[in-house]
Every structure is written in C-alpha cells, then in structure tokens.
Structure 1
Amino acid sequence: MYIMYITISLAAVGGNGIVCYIVLAYQRMRTVTNFFIVNLAIGDILMACLCIPFGFVSNLLLQYWPFGAVMCVVVSYAQAVSVFISAYTLIAISIDRYIAILYPLRPRMTKLQAKLIIFLVWVVALLTPLPTAVLSKLVQTPMWAQVNITDRYTCTELWEDNTQRYYYSMALMILQYFFPLTVLIYTYTRIAIVVWGKRPPGEAEDGRDQRMAASKRKVFKSSSMFESSQ
C-alpha cells in the first residue's frame, strides 16, 4: 500500500506538472483543448497533493485524523473541489469535440471563450461544496473515547440532521457523477454515430467508404489540433 500510494501521488504530480509546463511554455501548444487539459491536470494535482496523502495516512495507517482542524477543512473541501473540476472540464472537452464533429462549419470555440468556461468551472467547483468546508469538524469517535485517548479525532461532516446529510450527499452524487456521465455518454455516442455509423451518399464503393471512414476517425482523433491556427 505504501508503494502504491506513493507511486500514484508522484506520478500524478509529475505527469500533470509536465503537461502544464509544456502547454504554458510553448506558444503553439496553447490551444483551446489544451487549456481544458491543463485545467484537468490542475484538478488532478490538487487531488494528488491534498487528498491522496492525507487520506492514506489518516484512514489506512493511523485510523484517526492527526493533522488538526484546519487541514480537516482544507482537505475535505479540496477533495470535493477537485472532483468538480475534473468532471466539468471533461464535459467542456466533450462539448468542444461534439461541436467540431457534428457542426464542422460552425466557428470553433475561441481561447477567450475557453477561458471563460474554465472560470465558470472553478466558480461552480468552489461554491457547490461549500457546505463541506463549513461542516467539516474533528469528532472523537467512540473507539478512542473508550480507551480514554482524548487527542485522537476523525475528520467528518457534522450535520445536525442525517436527512440533510443524505440530501446533500445525493446532490453531490448527481452533480459530480450522474450529470457529467449523462452528458459524456450523449456527446460521445453522437460523435461515434457520426464518425463510424454513417455511410457516404451515392453508390457503395468499399475503397472509397473505407478511405472516408478512416478520414473521419483521423479528424476525431486530431480534433484537439484544430485550434492551433487560432
């Protein structure tokens, strides 16, 4: 478990850090899709730095929270924020590809529009899980209270009513998982139908059809490069 968690954390920080450096360091790499990829990488770095190490130590090694009340709030909030950033950035990428493939004659998304979308993603990611930041507290569990150890706590959301906790958890599940999943399934299914499902008009010609299908797949795979001329 030590090796796995250390490897995951280092790979996430190192790999995503390289992605951010390449896009920001080279002018020709600053395309619309790459801006979204950088935002996705930042969300992954946030998760790798603030969530994976602290969660591993507290949940798997010590069975209690040793990092204090401030870090309890920071880590819990950062985890929710990073999930929102990743999920909604993936939605933005899928919509950008959806428009490029299904409506190729429409103007492509500009860099300014991409930056505004990224800004909105961060606003949603920071505002939606605010109850997590407000209600994350240190609570002494019965396990430690029974052995009279008063300095060992767990980090949890302290709700007055379990019903409120349930509805908030369900809202997060819908916004973080089911809604993004629905959008991704719809957009990529439509893309797949256009790229692989349609036959060109006219008489059937296997060679021509194969060339056109290969061309469509190439367009789909390289759609992230369309903005390089912007």
Structure 2
Amino acid sequence: MIISDSSGATSNGRLVVQWILFGLYLLTTAIAVPGNFVMVWQYRPKKTWRNKNIFISSIAVSDLGLAVVSVPFKVIGQHLYQSWPFFDLLCPFSSYLHLVLVVHRSQSLFLLTVYRHYVIFRSPQKVSLAMHGKIAYILTLLISIIVCLPVAIYSRVEHFDMAFQRRIKVCVEEWNSSKTRLYYTISIMILQYIIPLLILSISNFYIGFLVWVRKPLGENHPQKIKEMYLAKRRTVKVLICVAVSYAISWLPLHVITIIGSKEQQLMSTEHLQVLWMFSHWLAFTNCAIHPMNYFVMDGEFRKKSKKILFKCICFKARKSPSVTTFLKRGSENTSSVNTGRSSVRSWKETKC
C-alpha cells in the first residue's frame, strides 16, 4: 500500500502521515512484545498444564508473531520504504504467516471463551479435559494453516514503473478473478471476526450477568463476600474489555478490505489508502491491548509481571560489561582495604 500522487512523488503531508504511523507501530510493538513475553512465561508449559494455559499462551505467541512479522514486512517494507526491500520469496511467506497468526489467534480466543463458559456451568470434577483442549488446539491450528493457503499461492512481487524513471517492487495478491477474491475475503472475515465475536459477545455477556448477579453460596462473612464481589466485578470488566477491544480493533480493516476487494479502483485513492493504513495499525493494537487488560485488571498477573521484568533487568545488568567491571573494581578495592587492615594489625601485634 503506497501513498503517492499522480506524478509518483510523495508529498510532505504524506511523509508526515507515514512517519506518524511508523511511530505508532513502534509504540505498539514496544508494549506488545514485553507484555506478551510475560504472558508466555507465566502460562508456559508445566507439569499440570491446564486448557486455560494452552489457550492464553497460544494467544500470546500469536501476538508476538504478529509484532515480529507485521512491523518489518508490512510497515517498513510497504509503508515507510514504499517498496518491497526483501527477497521475492519472503512476500508470499510473510503474507501467509501473517494471516495464519491472525486466524489462529481468533480461534484461540474463541476456545478460551468456550472453556470459561464450560468451567462456570459445569462442576469442578468434570472440567479436567486437558486432552480435549490439546486436540481442539491442534485442530484449530490445522484449520488456520489450510484456510490461509490461497494467500501463499496468489501473493507475489510485482514491478511498477513510477515517475522519474523509478521502478519499484510491491508485494500484492494477484487473484484470477475479483469475485474469487471477494468471496475469500468474506469467508476470512466470517471465520476470523464474525463467528468469534458472536461467541465472545453472547458467552461473555451471559457469564458476566451470572457472575454479577449470582450471590456466593455458603459464605456468611461480610468481608469475604465483599472481596468475592470485587473479584467478580474485575472478571466482568476483563471480559467486557476483551470483547469490545476485539470488535473495535478489527472492524474498520475488514470493512475497507471488503470494499477494496469489490472495487479495486477505490484502493488507489489517497484517502482510502490512508484509512487502510490506520485501520491496519488499529487491528495491530489488539496485540498490545490483550496483555494490558490482564496487567490492569488482574492483581496477581501484575505482581508476577513486575517480578519477571525485574529479574530480566537484573540479569541484563549482571551480563553488561560495565556493571561487571564496576563490581570487580569494587570487590578489588574492598579486598585491598581488608588486606591493608590485616597487615597493619599484624605489624602492631608483632611490634607489641
């Protein structure tokens, strides 16, 4: 997606827009990468790896992959550099991997919602379905890999002649017909956006209603009832934030993509290109919103995150040469002072 006027030259206003988008992408990446890294570390495989850990870590891994793939290939390559600066083989690979991560992330979010719904409406003795969770995870991964294959098939690098004898390369999708591309775009929207959003909205609304209204059974202590009520309110807020952020983040990109698939001439206009770029960044922000929801709403997750970040900072400080040399010098100085004091004491004792 390249923003250029009829002569092929890029104006100062468009450069400002591109640099603003580049800064927004970097800011979002700076939040998404450490946040999702902490989530992967906290929900990493353990001896008792529950279904909840599988789905949350899967979402975090997908967000990390999007942060690594989207920024260098989609932003630096197409938006800022205004050409495809990488090898031609990376064009179909990056487009395919990007879509696989997006679809698999939505499917993992869908599975996490279904699992929460199942836990609330089933007894604790019937919730031990670790094998079922792993099977569902593998099936959704295979579905994502198979469904996204057309993007890898039809993505290629095209050469365009611009003004002032300039020739650029652009990574595009060349379909056989516009109808096929439109049908495929609509099917991806249904699989990645509409179905997960419907499940998220219905299930989270019902769970939030029951958690908010239902009173705790068997509790006669007012203080404990108050703590449980506050915990319920935090749970409801997390569920609402997840559903609302997912709906707002992905809706503009899907609408503009469907319009561009139906009317490809409109995508060459400057205003629609700018809207597409901002909508792409808005969808990318969902990778950073998910760990931020856990960090703000979940006190236990916030404490563990601070501990992990503190350990990483201390580990880097120990590995850095300046800190190690400083510590060595300090230890040498203290050791020299101690040896000097011991020699003075021995000299006094022998003299006395």
Q: Does 1:82 align with 2:72?
A: no
**Counterpart residue identity of residue 18, structure 1:** V
For 2:4, the equivalent position in structure 1 comes to none
Query: In 2, Cα distance between the equivalents of 1:55 and 1:11?
Result: 18
Query: In 1, Cα distance between the equivalents of 2:121 and 2:227?
Result: 16
2:171 alignment partner, one of 152, 155, 165? 155
1:72 alignment partner, one of 71, 84, 91? 91
Unpaired stretches in structure 2, ≥5 consecutive residues: 1-19, 237-352
2:70 alignment partner, one of 51, 66, 84? 51
For 2:32, the equivalent position in structure 1 comes to 12
**Counterpart residue identity of residue 96, structure 2:** Y
For 2:229, the equivalent position in structure 1 comes to 214
Say which SS state the counterpart of residue 127 (structure 2) adopts.
Answer: coil
What is the TM-score of this pair, normalised by structure 2? Answer: 0.54
**Counterpart residue identity of residue 23, structure 1:** Y
For 2:288, the equivalent position in structure 1 comes to none
Query: In 2, Cα distance between the equivalents of 1:130 and 1:123?
Result: 11
**Counterpart residue identity of residue 130, structure 1:** L
Instruction: Say what the alpha-carbon RMSD is for the aligned residues.
Output: 3.0
**Counterpart residue identity of residue 158, structure 2:** V
Asked whether the equivalents of residues 9 and 53 of structure 1 are also in contact (C-alpha less than 8 Å), the reply is no
Unpaired stretches in structure 1, ≥5 consecutive residues: 202-206, 222-230
Change (3 A) 1:13 1:211: closer
The Cα shift of 1:65 comes to: 1.5
Asked whether the equivalents of residues 102 and 191 of structure 1 are also in contact (C-alpha less than 8 Å), the reply is no
Asked whether the equivalents of residues 158 and 172 of structure 2 are also in contact (C-alpha less than 8 Å), the reply is yes
Asked whether the equivalents of residues 33 and 67 of structure 2 are also in contact (C-alpha less than 8 Å), the reply is yes
Deviations 1:139-158 (A, max 9, x none): 224xx3454333x2111110
Change (3 A) 1:39 1:200: closer
Matches within 5 A, 1:48-127: 48-104=67-123, 107-127=126-146
For 1:164, the equivalent position in structure 2 comes to 180
Matches within 5 A, 1:185-204: 185-198=201-214
Deviations 1:4-40 (A, max 9, x none): 3233224323322232233337546x33211211111
The Cα shift of 1:199 comes to: 6.9
Q: Which has the higher contact order (CA 8 A, sep 6+)?
A: 1
The Cα shift of 1:52 comes to: 2.2
Query: In 2, Cα distance between the equivalents of 1:71 and 1:86?
Result: 22
Q: How many residues align?
A: 212
Query: In 2, Cα distance between the equivalents of 1:120 and 1:67?
Result: 33
Say which SS state the counterpart of residue 51 (structure 1) adopts.
Answer: helix
Asked whether the equivalents of residues 19 and 41 of structure 1 are also in contact (C-alpha less than 8 Å), the reply is yes
